Structures are given as C-alpha cells and as structure tokens.
Amino acid sequence: MNVVPFKALLLVAITVVSLCVSVRADEHNVLYYDQGVEGRWVPYQRGAVAGTPGVFQQMTDAISGHVDIIFKYVNFPAKRAQKAMKDGLIDVEFISLEWLPGGDPGEGFVVSNPLFAVNEYIVTLAGNEAQFSNRQAYYGKAVGTIAGYYYFDDDKFEREDFLTESLLIQGLKKKRFNAVILERETAKFWASVHQVDIAFAPLHTEGVLRVRLQKDKAHLLPLINQGIEAIKASGELANILRGHGIDESVIVE
C-alpha cells in the first residue's frame, strides 16, 4: 500500500485553497452593465447590424485586456436598467454627467476619467428647425424621449416615452410630436434606416461619456481608469470608434 507523504498532501491542500481564493478574488472584479435590448442606442450599446457588438461591449473587452476586471452584460429595457442601477443590481453604466440635474453623479456613485464626447440634439423634421431656435422653444411642449433615459430638464417639457430610438424616429416621421432628443450618431443611423429627412436644432447637452460605478465598488475605480487610459494610448479606443463610423477626434485625452 502506497502512503502519500504528509508534505505532499499539505502542498495539494495549500494549492487547492490558493486556487479557491484566486477564483473568489476574480469574482470580486466582475462588473455587470446593461447592454440593452436589440436596437437600443446604436452604435453604442448595440451594433448597427443586429447581433453585433456595439462600442460599449468592444470597449469593456478592450479594458479587460489591460486590467484585472471582467465586464459582463445583461439585457434590460432602458427603464428597467435605470431602476437596476438605482437598486444596485448592476454595477456600472455609461453616462454623461451633463444629462443629470446639476451634473451630480449621485451620492451612491463614483465616476471615471472621461472617454469621449457625446452630444445630444433637439432633432426635428427638415424644415422645422426654425421652430426650435433655442432650448426654451420646446419647453412646455411634447418631446419624444426614451423611457428610462436621463434628461436634466425633463421637468420643463412633456416626455413622450418610447422604448427605443428606432421607434422615436418613426414617431417623429408620423408627426406624433415635432421634436425628439437624440445623440447625433444614433439619430443619423435611424433616420437613414427609416428614410426620414431630419434636421439638428440646438444642442440639448454637450457632454463627455464616463463610467458611473456603484460606490461600494469604488475600490475598482483606479483599475477602470487605468484601463481607460490604456485603450486611449494603445489606439484601441480610436479603432473601436472608427469601426462604428465615429470620428476619433471625440476622444477626450
């Protein structure tokens, strides 16, 4: 009968315990974010072609290549995702502080270094832009919006909530309202798909996209920032944006 030496057993036990600790440590570095339903916020949350990754998935994959963080995604409608972030069911979201009242990220959150510029516009049908010469022109009126999206001044107009940007552009085409609030690249994409001749009226927000992180995960913020700077320096972020037809000049150095 072969007897396994005590030292060998001890070495195996230590190895198993070390592996378990390592796995648990890795699990602590898993962050969940919402990728949205199909067709939502193209090309950022979803790719222009159904089933293809958008900017955020490619960007988080690139960040994971530089730092010890794994990003996993869920697929919620926007309103459900907003509640999930509030309730702590997801860990991060991509946001511009300019979308929030006072630019305040909220008591329970911290934000990352800047990624790239994002501008939202008052979008209307071509020929109607004179009706919206300034931001105040739509106050008190119905404006097409996305359910669950943040709008810093939505107490000043009547929200007409839709589930996706595609439906929003279709609503504009059918003249359910005279204006919608959309990010420029998204508006251009869906206007092309639905053959709507649109015009960009005044800016609604001019901001910078960041990662907003639950405060109980704030210890991972330095790693996130390290990853962000790494994909900027390596050119990966520029390549990702170019791949979606977005000018790399929007990157904030």
Which pLDDT score, from 0 to 100, does residue 162 have?
95
Instruction: Please state the pTM of the whole predicted model.
Output: 0.85
What's the total number of domains in the chain?
A: 2
107 and 217 both lie in a single domain: yes
Q: Give φ, ψ of 125 to 5 degrees.
A: -75, 145
Category of 66 on φ-ψ map: left (φ > 0), alpha (ψ -120 to 50) or beta: alpha
The per-residue pLDDT for range 42-82, each reduced to its tens digit, is 999 999 998 899 999 999 999 999 999 999 999 998 889 99
Q: On the CB side of 182, how many CA atoms lie within 13 Å of its CA? A: 33
β-bridge partners, 203: 121
pLDDT digits over 132-159, tens only?
999 899 999 999 999 999 999 999 999 9
186 domain-assigned: yes
Is 194 within 8 Å of 169 (Cβ atoms)? yes
Same domain flag for 93 and 135: no
CB 62 within 8 A of CB 231: yes
**Structural domain harbouring 105:** 29-112+212-247
- Given a cut of 50, the residues of the chain with pLDDT beneath it are 1-4, 6-25
Q: For 36, left (φ over 0), alpha (ψ -120 to 50), or beta?
A: left
Read off the CATH number of the domain in which 230 is found. 3.40.190.10
Residue 21 lies in a domain: no
Q: Is residue 14 part of a domain?
A: no
